[in-house]
Amino acid sequence: MSHYSYIAFIPLLPLICFLILGLFGRKYFKTFSGTVGTFSTLISTLLSLYTAYQYFFIEGKVNGIFRNITALKYTWLQFSPNFSIEMGILLDPISVIMIVIVSFISLMVHIFSLGYMKGEERFATYYAFLSLFTFSMLGLVLSSNIFQIYIFWELVGVSSFLLIGYYYENPPAVAASKKAFIVTRFADLGFLIGILMLAFYSGTLDFNTLIERLTSTQSPEFIQISSATFLGVSMLTWGLVLVFIGGAGKSAMFPLHIWLPDAMEGPTPVSALIHAATMVVAGVFLVARLFPVFSIDFTAMQIVTWVGSFSALFAAVIACTQTDIKRVLAFSTISQIGFMMFSLGVSKYGGENGLGYTGSMFHLFTHAFFKSLLFLGAGAVIHFTHSNDIKELGGLRKMMPVTHISFLIACLAIAGIPPFSGFFSKEDILIAAYHSSKLIYGIAVCTSALTAFYMFRLYYSIFWSKDFHNHGPLHGEGTLSMKIPLIILGICTIFAGFVPVSSFVTSDGAPLESHVDLAFSAFPVLMAVTGILLATYLYKTQNNRPQVIASSLGNIYKTVYSKFYVDEIYLFITKKIIFNSIGRPAAWIDKNIVDGLMNFLATTTENISALIKGLQSGKVQNYALYFFGGIVGLAALFIYLLK
């Protein structure tokens, strides 16, 4: 066990960094803090890579199957002798691959921010928050216990909240941060109740034990959980669906996606790290983590599939109409996560049928690179132009060559053009979908064509189209620290597809043969190319064709542009129903009825005393009268009545 203890430092280093920067950063590390943060992340990254090497090539494999290693375990809360929350580190293919992704992307973002955030007043705070996020995210993926994952789940939520609200003087940023936190909190409620259900029936919180008990159909725990029903649905399904709601909230699946586009109010590197590459895939990770359990429950898997595929299509449609660079990217993130999600949903457990699982993890891997590259590229553009509206942008390809090339690479990757990384991962997903359901396959292909279209719409609008008129003084494309991550990520985006993920990450741990079927991939690629060509036709030069199409679609366009009014529906529910119909009456009742009752008691007492206080008139003769009256009364009583 002990020779794994270095793994604990992967999350702990950023935590230490957070504490140092958070407590002393403002005073002592004003400008130095970026270096401190970057350095600690660099060490984490190196340790992660070392761990990955150790796990994948030296220690992880037993009899050709990757096993789960519980590297560290420490009892955190012992509820009863057999039931405890433990803090531990679980190594398996997905957690290892995730720590590599998280620490690597985090490193890139740390480096990029050195230039991007330079001169910010709360520079140290920014790096402290980034470190906090890195710590929480690494802790999340390494969790060995379903409760531990919930703890880190909340922590990533709050670091996301803090970073979205980084520009706290800007009201939209504050609103967005609140929205992100509350929407995901709402989803976490489902997660928490799901945990309570699963944990109660399986009698454990430990992932390994839980999966073991709930997947063997003979175990008493399984029989109990699948026979207990609520509203005609088994407790297993309830538990899994509730857990999935938690995942869907974090991963911005429909209808809990509304927070993600608004979350773009945060600094752009943050969006690259949290809202594109790492935190938002936590939901996918969660489902993957519990995949053996999910895979035996048909209903839960159906829900995962349909939520995923619907979100993929839905977000892609909206992305075609948005004009804010970061919002387009946000919707594209939702769409891509939808891919990962339904890919898990269509997958089965074990062997070749588990291709969807592998594809999902593969896509998660490649998506992290190209999406963070897109965001960092967008960040560079925004940094350069101080605008993020594509209507105001155009013709930047000459002024920002590095950004331009890397952005193009990322666009090709996300569109699924070979040989860029996105192609390979999407390919696995499409094959899995094809074998599971033709309808899902159809949705997936349409979505990827749309993806190609809107990504190139974005690309052309920023780098081609009209010329860019700069009113202010022109400065360079960005500092070196901003270009280096773009270049590194660009290289990764090109080559990540050749990483044989399928021989490392599979649903049952046994390596899978990777295969590229040219005949199969021809059609999706053709669709993607069509999308690109359409975008070229419409957006490469400035023309009025897009407007013509938009106006011919009329209300449909308007609905899509308004994101299908989902935000308005939420607003209606919160403002009208929760605030006005629950909160306000509750406050009224408290003030007037509950408190009124107490005040009524007090005033009644007072009134009665006011009624009888007149007897104390202060007139001595009255008192004498009462006195003698009393004597007469008593005398009468004793003489006549109580003889």
Binding site for other proteins (CB under 8 A): 26, 75-80, 147, 150-152, 154-155, 158, 161, 165, 168-171, 174-175, 177-178, 181-182, 185-186, 188-189, 192-193, 196, 199-200, 579, 582-584, 586-587, 590, 594-595, 597-598, 602, 613-614, 616-621, 624-625, 628
Select 64 or 618, whichever has its Cβ closest to other proteins.
618
Half-sphere exposure of 490 (CA within 13 A, CB side): 17
Select 67 or 185, whichever has its Cβ closest to other proteins.
185
Measure the CA–CA gap between 146 and 625, rounded to whole angstroms. Answer: 83
What minimum distance in Å lies between the beta carbon of 199 and other proteins?
8
What minimum distance in Å lies between the beta carbon of 391 and other proteins?
27
Select 267 or 356, whichever has its Cβ closest to other proteins.
267
What minimum distance in Å lies between the beta carbon of 132 and other proteins?
10
Measure the CA–CA gap between 22 and 480, rounded to whole angstroms. Answer: 27
What minimum distance in Å lies between the beta carbon of 111 and other proteins?
27
Eight-class DSSP state of 276: I
Determine the straight-line distance between the first and last CA of the chain, rounded to whole angstroms: 97
Q: Are 449 and 316 in contact (CB under 8 A)?
A: no
The sign one gets for the Cα dihedral 51, 56, 59, 65 is: positive
Select 154 or 427, whichever has its Cβ closest to other proteins.
154
Select 221 or 427, whichever has its Cβ closest to other proteins.
221
Measure the CA–CA gap between 408 and 391, rounded to whole angstroms. Answer: 19
Select 147 or 339, whichever has its Cβ closest to other proteins.
147
Which 3-state string (H, E, C) describes 480-525?
A: HHHHHHHHHHHHHHHHHHHCCHHHCCCCCCCCCCCCCCHHHHHHHH
- Locate 114 and state its tokens: 């050195």
What minimum distance in Å lies between the beta carbon of 252 and other proteins?
17
Select 392 or 567, whichever has its Cβ closest to other proteins.
567
Measure the CA–CA gap between 138 and 103, rounded to whole angstroms. Answer: 8
Half-sphere exposure of 472 (CA within 13 A, CB side): 7
What minimum distance in Å lies between the beta carbon of 619 and other proteins?
5
Select 78 or 302, whichever has its Cβ closest to other proteins.
78
What minimum distance in Å lies between the beta carbon of 185 and other proteins?
4
What minimum distance in Å lies between the beta carbon of 117 and other proteins?
17
What minimum distance in Å lies between the beta carbon of 161 and other proteins?
8
Select 3 or 619, whichever has its Cβ closest to other proteins.
619
Measure the CA–CA gap between 278 and 106, rounded to whole angstroms. Answer: 9
What minimum distance in Å lies between the beta carbon of 624 and other proteins?
6
Which 3-state string (H, E, C) describes 117-166?
A: CCCCCCHHHHHHHHHHHHHHHHHHHHCCEHHHHHHHHHHHHHHHHHHHCC
Return contacts of 623-629, CB within 8 angstroms, 24+ apart.
Answer: none
In three-state secondary structure terms, 27 is helix
What minimum distance in Å lies between the beta carbon of 232 and other proteins?
14
Q: Are 156 and 283 in contact (CB under 8 A)?
A: no
Select 180 or 410, whichever has its Cβ closest to other proteins.
180
Q: Are 485 and 111 in contact (CB under 8 A)?
A: yes
Select 92 or 188, whichever has its Cβ closest to other proteins.
188
Measure the CA–CA gap between 241 and 230, rounded to whole angstroms. Answer: 13
